Amino acid sequence: MSTMDNREPKKDKPYQIVIDQVKKEILTGNLKPGDRLPGEREMAEQLGISRNSVREGLRILENMGVTTSQHGAGHYVSLCFDEPMTETLSLIYTMKGLVRDDLTQFRYCLEREAMYLAMSNASERQKRQIEEHLDALLRAQTEKDRYVHDMALHMTLIEASGNDYLITAYRALTNVIEYYIPVFRGKIIEGMKSNDKLEDAHRTLVMGVMNGDLSLGLEGLDRHFEYIRLFQ
Amino acid sequence: MSTMDNREPKKDKPYQIVIDQVKKEILTGNLKPGDRLPGEREMAEQLGISRNSVREGLRILENMGVTTSQHGAGHYVSLCFDEPMTETLSLIYTMKGLVRDDLTQFRYCLEREAMYLAMSNASERQKRQIEEHLDALLRAQTEKDRYVHDMALHMTLIEASGNDYLITAYRALTNVIEYYIPVFRGKIIEGMKSNDKLEDAHRTLVMGVMNGDLSLGLEGLDRHFEYIRLFQ
DNA sequence: AGAAATTTGTTCGTATGTATA
DNA sequence: TTATACATACGAACAAATTTC
């Protein structure tokens, strides 16, 4: 038998080799979203590991949202990265114990920054969308409708910031609210009942965005969260 | 109790069965941090799937930070969850395309909120740590030392906020800087050269934290990032 | 349309290094 | 030291889905 290929201090686990390899190919631009990865057997031979190990690595990448697998076809680089990530996030959050106040505080922090950035980065289309969601929100008859348009309004504001890090973080946050703490959502909806104070906060907030008036927008935001904090 | 969101009557993949099972055991309190999982063979037989499938599932759980594996011993429920998550987060961030300005802007946003929260949440120990890092930073002789203590100072401030969501997001950000863009780090270090303006910003920032003076702390923070933005 | 080739999905068997009693 | 249980890793085989000719 040949001598052990005693490489280095670091004995990388086989599946980690796969992960690092794919990461590298993506980061160097060699692999782009939508591209197909080499076959499992090919990677196994190329990296000098077994197919089972390749599969372990690919499963992890898939779970991280980096790749997707298609039975009979192959593995592909994902087009959208943030969906499965929120699953990981939410599990961790759940295990660490959700702190509702902290979640709201963090959400406020993100929206505040978004308001600031939106002043210079919001497109006309986004401004229009925000206004439309406000209209729909004010006209909404059911609590569910109010919830939907409220969320959409805030999400559009976040997107108008143009900052991907901020957008990703906010998406993960709302996902946690949406899928993992129905109680939380219920309380929000409960507090969403037609209410002058809340409606006024939204109007002020949107007016600030439309007119490029930062302090007005922030005032609306503050009033909004002031109200939210009452219901938690 | 309504269980997992089975949107479709979809036949669960074998490795997903493992993940769901372990999740369930943990969430019901049947498995606690530090506990040992059943052996791979045992789980395979119990769940009616193969060992390789069990392994794929366990690898994913390990990657999510839920479990750890020990060669020859077994799989255990993790005691600390957030490290692998920040790795996932940072990878996703990187994949989405790095925009240096956006990264700095987001970092500022988080630190600003942390400053606000630290005013009421920082422990005496954390305050002392921040002061110590400032001292070490001012006395540092090498650029690397300056970088280390600079990072540590800011990280302690973030931790002093007491908000886990914020802390997690910031960890992911610094991870991106540390591991994925050495160029970025290089520029930061370059801008770190002994400089009165930067030192003063740090002093002001820390003084604000120590004295519970929010506006002073924010002023230091603003000056700090003003300086950072010059070097990017 | 249909058959063959390709690829992922899943399983079993086996060998090896490690931890523990 | 020995024995046992365990994770690690590899290779081969077949099933199922997809692509290709």
Strand C, nucleotides covered by protein (CB < 7 Å): 6-13, 17-20
Q: CA at A98, C1' at D9: how many angstroms apart?
A: 39
Q: Which amino acid is at B19?
A: I
- Determine phi and psi for B13, rounding to 5 degrees: -70, 150
- Which residue pairs from A185-192 have beta carbons closer than 8 angstroms and sit at least 24 positions apart in sequence? A185/A147, A187/A231, A187/A232, A188/A147, A188/A228, A188/A231, A189/A143, A189/A144, A189/A146, A189/A147, A190/A143, A190/A231, A191/A227, A191/A228, A191/A230, A191/A231, A192/A143, A192/A146, A192/A147, A192/A150
Backbone angles phi, psi at B74, to 5 degrees: 155, -175
β-pairing verdict for A74-77 and A67-70: antiparallel
CB contact under 8 A, B97 and A63: no
Cβ-nearest to A15 among B15, B59, B164: B59
* Residue B51 approaches strand D within 7 Å at CB: yes
What is the reported pLDDT for A2? 36
Residues in chain A: 232
Question: CB atoms < 10 A from the CB of B154, how many?
Answer: 22
Q: Which two tokens stand for residue A19?
A: 């992960």
Q: Are B54 and B43 in contact (CB under 8 A)?
A: yes
Kindly report the number of other CB atoms within 10 A of residue A91's CB atom.
Answer: 22
Nearest alpha carbon to residue B115 among B172, B171, B153, B169: B153
Q: How many CA atoms are closer than 13 Å to the CA of A115, on its beta-carbon side? A: 26
The residue type found at B91 is L
Spans of chain A below 50 pLDDT: 1-10
Q: Which residues of A touch B59 (CB under 8 A)?
A: 15, 56, 59-60
Burial annotation A55-75 (CB, 10 A radius, 16+ → b, else e): bbbbbbbbbbbbbbbeeeeeb
pLDDT at A132: 97
- Residue A174: CB atoms within 10 A of its CB come to 15
CA–CA distance, B15 with B53 (Å, rounded to integer): 5
pTM of the predicted model as reported, rounded to 2 decimal places: 0.78
Long-range contact list for A212-216, CB < 8 A, 24+ apart?
Answer: A212/A119, A214/A115, A214/A116, A214/A119
Å from the A76 CA to the C15 C1': 33
> Is A27–B94 a contact, with Cβ atoms under 8 angstroms apart?
yes
Q: Return the CATH number of B15-77, one of 1.10.260.40, 1.10.10.10, 2.60.34.10, 3.40.50.300.
A: 1.10.10.10
Beta strands B74-77; A67-70: pairing state: unpaired
**Which of A159, A88, A116 lies closest to B90, judged by CA?**
A88
Q: What is the structure's pLDDT at B189? A: 60
Q: What is the pLDDT of residues A73-85, one digit of tens each?
A: 999 999 877 666 6
Q: Nearest chain A Cα to B53, which residue?
A: A56
Mean pLDDT by 10 residues, chain B (232 residues): 38 85 86 91 92 92 90 89 73 73 93 97 97 94 86 96 91 76 58 75 96 97 90 69
Six-digit token string for B116: 């606000």
We find that the CATH architecture of domain A83-230 is: Up-down Bundle (1.20)
Q: What is the chain B residue with the closest CA to A15?
A: B59
Report the Cα A204 to chain-centroid distance in Å.
27
pLDDT for the residue numbered A79:
86
Distance CA B171, CA B155 (A): 8
CA atoms in the 13 A half-sphere facing the CB of B107 = 23
Within this chain, domains B15-77 and B83-230 share the same CATH topology: no
Nucleotide nearest to A71 (CA to C1'): C8
| Residues A21, A42: Cα–Cα separation, whole Å | 13
Q: Which of B95, B108, B163 to mutate to test the interface with A (most CBs of A within 10 A)?
A: B95
Residue nearest to nucleotide D6 (CA to C1'): B72
Kind and range of the H or E run holding A159: helix A143-160
Torsion of CA B168, B174, B178, B183, to 10 degrees: 150
Q: Confirm if A69 and A54 have CB atoms less than 8 A apart.
A: no
Residues A185, B10, A15, A68: what is their CA dihedral angle, to the nearest 10 degrees?
-80
pLDDT confidence of residue B48: 92
* DSSP SS3 for B70: strand
Which of A56, A65, A105 lies at the smallest CB-CB distance from B56?
A56
Question: Would you give the DSSP letter of residue A180?
Answer: I
The structural domains of chain A, with segments of one domain joined by +, span 15-77, 83-230
Q: How many CB atoms within 10 Å of residue A204?
A: 20
Contact A84, A58 (CB under 8 A): no
